[in-house]
Amino acid sequence: MADQDSLATVFRSGDHSAREDAASIVDLLADAGLHPSQFNDDAIGVPIGASEVRVPAGEEAMALEVIAQRDNAPRQPGDPGRALDLVEVFTGVGASGEMEAISIRAVLDANGIPSVMVGSSAVPNFPFVVKVSGTLAGQARSAIEAARQAGPEAADAAEAATEAAAGSNDA
């Protein structure tokens, strides 16, 4: 590896994915026949939380060109379909609307179904709405219906089982 003083920084990121992004750039530059090195925040001169990619000074122009070509490459469009749009699976109104919506979200979370809740306690006359991806709407509705049919007794039993398991783990 070249002396750090003769290296040029061609990429720096402080994003949450900085290390992965830098590794991707290293692979890209190596595939182009260059000699990149990745430096993380434990290296001299790299800010805390950042990652950098450096190349020998003589390869700087080529590295920047390779990175620019990647950044300008046409992107594949995302899924243009409506399947990922959010769909309402619950609407609660009134004083208990918020609590019901929170309970519905807990049921969905327990079943591994991501959801969002729309509503505001500050404006209680607006409904609380729970939404999921259209691809998961059927599964979400089934989970909600199963929880309703099981009733509060099933929730109490599940809570007791969780507490018992937590208690046995503490011993």
More confident residue, 23 or 125: 23
| CA pseudo-torsion sign 5, 13, 53, 39 | positive
Predicted confidence (pLDDT) per residue in 108-166, tens digit = 998 999 999 998 877 777 899 999 998 899 999 999 999 999 887 877 777 777 778 77
Strands (E), the chain: 7-13, 37-40, 51-56, 86-92, 116-118, 128-133
Please count the CA atoms within 13 angstroms of the CA of 51 that sit on its side-chain side: 16
Residues 6+ apart with CB under 8 A from 158: none
Mean pLDDT of the chain: 87
Predicted confidence (pLDDT) per residue in 43-55, tens digit = 988 998 999 999 9
Q: Identify whether the C-beta of residue 94 lies closer than 8 Å to the C-beta of residue 132.
A: no
